[in-house]
Structure 1
C-alpha cells in the first residue's frame, strides 16, 4: 500500500445566494491577479533594473489591498494567496523563456474558477461545507472517504455548471503480479494494437459529434446575426446601448454547443480510463513508443483523427497508473518499428499508410503492419531492461 496524490471532480449545486457568492469570489481572484500584474508592469516600466516582486512579497501586499477594497474579504483568504503564487510561477516561467508574458484576465470569459487551500468538511451524504459558502449540495461524497484534501478548485464552465475539483492524498493497494509483458503500437483506425495481436478500437461518438457540429453552426450564425443587430441598434440609439450577451438565442446555442462537446470529452476520457486500467491489470511491463503528437498533427489530413484518438492522454494515464500500482512503463524510439521484420530483423524500407500487411522478402514471414510494430516495440523495451 502506498500514498498517492490524485484528483477528484464532483458537481456542485449551489443555490441562488451561493451562486452570487461564487461569482464574487471569481471576480475577486481575477481582480487580485490584474492588480498584481498591473503593479509588476508599471514597476518595470518606471525602473527596468528593479527587483521582481515575488509571491511572498505579493502576499504581504494583500493586507493593504483588502483595506482599500473591502469586498476582497468575502473570498477565502487562501485563494488570493494561490493567485499570487500562480502569477509568481508565470513570471518565473517567463524568465526561463518557457512561457509568454502573463495576460490580464477578463470577466467575459466563460470559464471562471478560484482555488483555495482551506479545509473542507463532508457534512452529509451529498453535502460539503466550503469556506465562505457554508453547506453546499454536491453530486456525491463517497469518494472523499479516507482521503486527505490538499487543495480545492471551484469552477464554472461554458455549459453553465459548477464543479469542485479536489487534489487529495489517498492510499492505493499494489496490483498482483502477472509476469506478463506487452508492446503497444498506437494507431488511428485502432487506438492500441498489442504485441499479443489484440486490437482496441478508437473511441467513436458519431452522433454526439454530429450534434456538436450542428450546434456549432447554429452558434456561429446566431452570433453573426446578433453582432449585426447590436451594431445597428447602438448606431441608431445613443442613450440605450445593447451588448452581445443580451441576445438569449445566441446564448442558448453557445450552451448547447458546449454541452455536446463536454459529453464527447467525458465519454472519451471514460473510455481511456477503462482501457488503461485494463492494460495495467494484465501486464507488469508495458512498452510504448515515444510519439511527438504535435509534429504529427501538422499533417492536416490526419490531425482530426489523431486528436480524437488522444494519444497523449492515453500515455499520461498509463504513466501515472503504472506508478500507482507498481507496474513498469518503458518508452522507446518509434523509428522503423513498422519497417523492420520482427522475425529476422530485415528492414524493408518505407511503406505507404494504406499498406496494412506485407511479406518479408528475406524470411517470407507475412506481417500485419501494426502487430509487427508492436512486437518490435516490445523487443526494444526488453532490450533496454536487459
Structure 2
C-alpha cells in the first residue's frame, strides 16, 4: 500500500540582480510583518485582553509597501508566528523572538496555488516573479509541489527548498535486523558491516585541521607585526579557505547521514538504535546533534518504507565492550 508523504528537495539557485532585489525586499517585508504581529500579540498578553488579532491584510492598509510583495509569504509569516506561540504555550520552545536583518540566514515561504510554482527544465517559476530563476537541479522532483522556501546566506548564496506530496511504496522485507549505537568518530557503529563509508567527510576534516593550524600561525605572525587582522590579506585569504572547508564538511556530513539512513532502512526490517539525551557530552568528529539528525531521518524513513525502529537506552557507565552492547541490542 502506497503512503502519501511530504518530501523536501533543496537546490542552489542563481538569481539575477533584479531577482535578488525582489528576494531581499520580500525577506524584509516578511520580517517586518512577523515582528509587527509579534508586538501586537505581546501587547495583548501584557494587557490580558482578547482582541481581534492583527493580520497581514490590516498591516497593508497602514504600510502600502507590503502590497508589492508576495501575499502568501506574509500569510506564512503569520502562520509561523502562530506555530511559535503554540510551541511556547505547550512548553516545547521558548518565547518567540523578534527577527533581525543581521541574521546570516533570511527566508520566506510561498505556496503553490493553481500552478504558480513549477520548473521549466533547469529554471524555476515563482509567484510575483515574471522571469524564471536558474536552478542547479541535481535530482528530479516527484509528486505535487506544495510550497517553496527561498533562503539566502548573507544575501549572496541563494537556495530553494521545494516541498512535495509524494506516494512512497514500502520496501520489500528481507527478514534482517541490526543494532546501531553512536560513535563520535564514525557517527554509527553496528553489529553488522555498514553499507556506506564516510571517507570524504573524514578527509575534509583532516584538511580542515591543517587549514586551521595555518590560520593560527598567520594570526600570530600578524600580531607580531602589530597589524589589524582585518587588514592582513594573507590571514583573510586563509580564513576564507577555512570557512569554505567548514561548509564542505557540513554538506558531506549531511549527505553521509542521508545515504546511511536510506541504505539501513532499505537493507534491514528491524532496527535497534541507541537513545541519547540532548545534554550528553561527547567529543569527536561527530556531535550529539549529528546523531539526533541521523535518528530523525531513520524515524521518518522507517515509517515511509514500512520498517520497524526500536530505541534502546544504554547506561553511560556501562563498561562492557562495544560488541557485547551491540549483541544485547540486536538480540
What interval of TM-score do these two structures reach, taking the shorter chain for normalisation?
Answer: 0.7 to 0.9
1:277-356 aligned within 5 A: 277-292=262-277, 294-297=278-281, 302-307=282-287, 310-335=290-315, 350=319
Cα shift at 1:188: 2.6
Q: TM-score, normalised by structure 1?
A: 0.72
For residues 251 and 38 of structure 1, the distance between their equivalents in structure 2, rounded to whole angstroms, comes to 40
Aligned-partner SS, 2:156: coil
Match of 1:143 among 136, 140, 144: 140
Cα shift at 1:137: 1.1
Q: Is the 8 A contact 2:146 2:165 kept in 1?
A: yes
Q: Is the 8 A contact 1:191 1:201 kept in 2?
A: no
Unaligned 5+ residue runs, structure 2?
none
Q: Is the 8 A contact 1:181 1:284 kept in 2?
A: yes
| Aligned position for 1:85 | 79
Cα shift at 1:43: 4.0
CA-based RMSD: 3.4
- Could you give the per-residue CA deviations for residues 125-177 of structure 1, whole angstroms, max 9, x where no partner exists? 11111011231111127522x41112211000248310001111112222111
| Aligned position for 1:51 | 50
| Aligned position for 1:271 | 256
Structure-2 change in CA distance of 1:212 and 1:168 (3 Å): farther
Cα shift at 1:81: 0.9
Q: Is the 8 A contact 2:105 2:154 kept in 1?
A: yes
Q: Is the 8 A contact 1:208 1:264 kept in 2?
A: no
Q: Is the 8 A contact 2:13 2:136 kept in 1?
A: yes
For residues 157 and 18 of structure 2, the distance between their equivalents in structure 1, rounded to whole angstroms, comes to 16
| Aligned position for 1:362 | none
Deviates more, 1:307-316 or 1:276-285: 307-316
The alignment covers a number of residue pairs equal to: 318
Cα shift at 1:44: 4.1
Which is bigger in relative contact order (C-alpha 8 A, separation at least 6)?
2
Structure-2 change in CA distance of 1:193 and 1:52 (3 Å): farther
Return the index of the structure with the highest Cα Rg. 1
Cα shift at 1:99: 2.4
